[in-house]
Amino acid sequence: MGAILTFYAFSLAFGALFLSNGVETYVSMIQSLNLGRLTTFLVKIILGLPFAYHYFNAMRYIIWNTARMLDIKKVYETARQAAIAAVVLASNLFLYYDSAINTACHCHL
């Protein structure tokens, strides 16, 4: 997942440096594709999941730095909890931003 985040960062930097149009142009291009709700959901999950995953695993790392939850049973338990929390957070971000966009533009994507 770290490689995916690095790819995102380099893609955004490349786009900011070399693409002549503003962000609005690319957002309107994506909206003109008329992607279905399922496709939009999957794309947003693919983009948001690495961030959520790293966020919750950073919490695990901080807990480990305090010398807690280091036995193997707790390590596996917190890994499972972090994965579930990452999926829930990424899904909720999609649902929140999807409803916010639909409310703002009075449309249904």
Binding site, by residue number, is 54
Cα 76 to Cα 40: distance, rounded to the nearest angstrom:
32
Residue ranges for the known binding site for heme are: 54
Supply the DSSP string of 24-47, one letter for each residue.
Answer: HHHHHHHHTT---HHHHHHHHHHH
